[in-house]
Amino acid sequence: MTPYAPPAPTARPEASAPEASLDVAGTLLALLADTTTEPRPDPQLEALTLSVAADLPVLLWGEPGIGKTAALTHLAESLDLPLTTVIASVHEPSDFSGLPVIGDDPAEQGVPMAPPDWAVRLVRAGRGLLFLDELSTAPPAVQAALLRLVLERRVGALRLPPGVRIVAAANPRGSAADGWELSPPLANRFVHLSWTHDHEVVVRGLGGTWPRATLPRLRPERLTEAVDFARRAVCGLLAARPGLVHRLPSTETRRGGAWPSPRTWEMALRLTAFATAADASREVLSLLVRGVVGDGPGLELLASLDRMDLPDPETLLADPAAADLPERGDLRQAVLDAVVAAVRARPDKARWDAAWALLVKAAQTGAPDLVVVPATTLAALRRDEWDVPRAIERLAGVVGLSRRADEAAARTASRAAATPGGGR
């Protein structure tokens, strides 16, 4: 009998050449995707994270390929939020307003509006970043359906949890495929941020290191102060400029951007409070307030904030030697004008002398030409019984020199204009 012999082991077939090539390609792709992040000052990224922290919908405007989608992907990874991307232009209105589902007894139970699967996933997760891409290519009917989602966070009968943040992206109409202008009601619900590329950021990112997005560090001890500061700033501006409360732009293009309304002023107030509590830079605050109420009203609010930070003229008059004058020329000029106005409102010799001492200090620590107009006005307030203070003598040379410089500049400009070809 032939003894039993086990079967020879079957040789494992080697991977085919195409499979091996794809495995190597996959390894190479993984290496290319292996990047790191670093802390790096980036005003537009800081403005985005502040808006996300303030729970306000953000709309990034930028040309195609500028990196809006990549920025949102990095943001979600940095904040450890699951990212849900919805291409608005390829959806129907019912995808956002909900699909009607007939129940057992519609007369008794009504017809519920079933939400799409992506909304259900967000509710189950309890948190996340909802990215509405290609918003400017969504037709008007879809934009109308998005109104409730953006403002009330409702999709059909479902309400998104507080842990979900909404960020959208759009291309300007001229560079969008079959683009539409944003409808005014939808545009008025967003913080509009212009997204541009930074050469150094792109180069370092392609080298494997991208900026890190972090939520702003709000200072707990400043929260109450920040809210009070923001309310005084916004309410003070609107009390003085009631025409800014609601101003619908006249052109279709501008209506699709940031413009002032009671809703966006409430957003500006919230963003001002968050920026103040986080000690954000003026550049970041400028991006935020102009992104909700528009450039003109936003710049007026920034100027109002600057005036709120100015020292009280009565405090300066009480102790001129300890006065701390602003460094910026426009703010210093405003302080000096306010001091002279305070003396005019309640003139006496001591206050007049204190104002001259402040003007001397301003001339010694800053541009002397800022003192010319306040000094001239203050001199006109002198009464006959008031002795001329020695401070006036100290300022005479500075004021005279500044005036002579202005007159010389004017004569030079006149000669240049009179000379043939001098105006070119």
Residue type, 300: E
Q: How far apart are CA 400 and CA 372, in angstroms?
A: 9
Domain end, chosen from 179, 211, 243, is at 211
Domain membership flag for residue 4? no
90-131 residue pLDDT tens: 888 887 877 777 666 665 666 677 788 888 899 999 999 999
* Per-residue pLDDT tens over the stretch 147-183: 888 988 988 878 999 999 999 998 886 655 566 788 8
The tokens for 282 are 């003026």
Distance CA 121, CA 372 (A): 67
User: Averaged over 260-277, what is the pLDDT?
Assistant: 96
Question: Which pairing describes strands 209-211 and 83-87: parallel, antiparallel, or unpaired?
Answer: unpaired
How confident is the model at residue 411, as a pLDDT?
56
| Residue 302 and residue 277 in one domain | yes
Can you read off the two tokens belonging to residue 341? 């106005």
Check whether residue 303 and residue 401 sit in a common domain: no
Please tell me the predicted confidence (pLDDT) of residue 113.
73
pLDDT tens digits for 230-246? 999 999 899 888 999 99
Looking at the domain assignment, is residue 206 inside a domain? yes
In a domain, 7, yes or no: no
Confirm whether pTM is higher than 0.85. no
pLDDT of 310 strictly over 50: yes
Whole-angstrom Cα distance, residue 361 to residue 50? 39
Residue 384: what pLDDT?
83
The pLDDT assigned to 399 comes to 56
**Model confidence at 65: pLDDT above 60:** yes
Do 319 and 247 share a structural domain? no
Portion of the chain with pLDDT greater than 70, in percent: 83
Which pLDDT score is estimated for 177? 54
Instruction: State pLDDT tens for residues 84-97.
Output: 999 888 888 887 87
On the CB side of 202, CA atoms within 13 Å amount to: 8
Q: Is 240 left (phi over 0), alpha (psi -120 to 50) or beta?
A: alpha
Confidence at residue 299, expressed as pLDDT on a 0 to 100 scale: 93
For 386, the domain range is 313-418
The answer to whether position 75 is within a domain reads yes
264, 118: one domain? no
Q: Could you say which of 281, 308, 335 is where a domain stops?
A: 308
| CATH number of domain containing 142 | 3.40.50.300
Find the mean pLDDT for residues 287-291.
97
Q: What is the pLDDT of residue 263?
A: 96
Comparison of pLDDT for 76 and 176, the residue scoring more: 76
* Band (407; pLDDT cuts 50, 70, 90): low
Residue 401 pLDDT exceeds 50: no
Say if residue 424's pLDDT is above 50. no
The contacts of residue 136 (CB under 8 Å, 6+ apart) are: 170, 171, 172, 173, 176, 179, 180, 181, 182
Higher model confidence: residue 389 or residue 72? 72
55 and 202, same domain (yes or no)? yes
Q: Are residues 172 and 71 in the same domain?
A: yes
89 and 156 share one domain: yes
Asked if the structure places residue 10 within a domain, the reply is: no
Are residues 360 and 324 part of one domain?
yes
Per the structure, the count of domains in the chain is 3
Q: Which residues on neighbouring strands pair with residue 84, listed in sequence order?
A: 130
Query: Is 30 part of a structural domain of the chain?
Result: no
Say if residue 253 is in the same domain as residue 281: yes
d(CA 103, CA 112): 8
- Per-residue pLDDT band at 248 (split at 50, 70, 90): very high
Does the structure show a pLDDT above 60 at 34?
Answer: yes
In a domain, 340, yes or no: yes
Shared domain check, 122 and 233 = no
**Range 331-353 average pLDDT:** 89
What's the pLDDT band for 214 if we cut at 50, 70, 90? confident
Q: Judge whether residue 405 has pLDDT over 70.
A: no
The residue among 211, 233, 261 that closes a domain is 211
| Residue found under tokens 């102790």 | 319
* pLDDT given at position 78: 83
**332 shares a domain with 269:** no
In this structure, the answer to whether residues 195 and 82 fall within a common structural domain is yes
- Whether residue 20 lies inside any domain: the answer is no
Q: What rounded mean pLDDT belongs to the chain?
A: 83
